[in-house]
Amino acid sequence: MNSGASRGRAGVIGFIVAETSLFAVFVVAYLFYIGKSLTGPSPKEVLDLPIVVTLCLLSSSVTVAMAARALASARVTRAGSWLFVTVVLGLVFLGGTAREWRRLIVERGLTIGTNLFGTTFYPLVGLHASHVILGLIMLSLCVAFAWSGALKAIHAERVELVSWYWHFVDGVWVVVFTVVYVIGR
């Protein structure tokens, strides 16, 4: 009832703050255990920089913003297309993580129990990937609603809130990338 303030926005901000706090602890644990593994392999030996998929994920933040903007000006088809592009970019990112994990586990023999690097790496990257999956489910629903005609301009705020969540997932990846692939490597 206060002028213009939306409870949806307030709720999503609160949710994102809590999520940030959750990720922070996994990041702290990763930083704390850098270089403390008693056995190999070390990050330097097995990790490659995931440049391409990172670019995909970062640009998906732009596309989802375009979608939200299109819907705000009542261009539903256009919004649906941007949302679809976002989903594709997110899937590419997820595929990159899957490939990386397969290589690490099958070829390099690094599992969560191998050493402290494995212990801290998989939960941190995996927690992020699970958030990507959750985001992709929400975005795919939006695409489905857009294509079936259920998405209307009055839903602009809801799609915008989904885009906030997606920006958050992106921001977390910037931190994870810096910590795991730059500082930790």
Partner 1 sequence: MAATPVPAPLSAPLDVIETSSPSGFLATLHDWVVTVDHKRLGIMYVVTGLIFLVIGGVEASLMRLQLAWPGLTLVPAETFNRLFTLHGTTMVFLVGIPIVFGFGNYLVPLMIGARDLAFPRLNAFGFWVLLFGGVLLYFSFLGGDGLYGAGSAPAVGWFAYAPLSERAFTPGNATDYWNLSILITGFGTIATAVNLIATITTMRAPGMTLGRMPMFVWTMLTVSAMTLLILPPLSAAQIMLLLDRFLGAHYFDTQAGGSAVLWQHFFWFFGHPEVYVLILPGFGFVSEIIPVFSRKVIFGYATLVAATVSIGAVAMSTWAHHMFTVGLGGTLNSFFAASTMLVGVPTGVKIFNWLATLYGGKLRFRTPLLFCCAFLFQFLCAGLTGIMLAVAPFDWQLSDSYFVVAHFHFVLIGGLVFTIFAALYYWFPKATGRMLSERLGKWHFWLFTVGFNVTFLTMHLPGVLGMPRRIYTYPADRGWDILNLVTTLGVPLQALGVLIFVINVVYSLRHGTPAGDNPWEAWTLEWATTSPPPPYNFATVPAVTSRRPLWDLQHPDDPDGPHE
- Among 166, 149, 11, 127, smallest CA distance to 77 is for 149
Site string for partner 1, 6-45 (x = CB under 8 A): xxx-xx--xx-xxx-xx-xxx--x--xx--xxx-------
- Residue holding tokens 């402290």? 116
Q: Is 112 in the site for partner 1 (CB under 8 A)?
A: yes
Question: Is-contact 82 63, C-beta < 8 A?
Answer: yes
Q: Is 106 in the site for partner 1 (CB under 8 A)?
A: no
Least Å distance, CB 122 to partner 1, is 8
Q: What angle do CA 54, 15, 140 make, to 5 degrees?
A: 55
Q: How many other CB atoms are found less than 10 A from the CB of residue 89?
A: 22
Nearer to partner 1, 7 or 44 (CB): 7
Residues that bind partner 1 (CB under 8 A): 1-2, 5-8, 10-11, 14-15, 17-19, 21-22, 24-26, 29, 32-33, 36-38, 111-113, 115-116, 118-120, 123
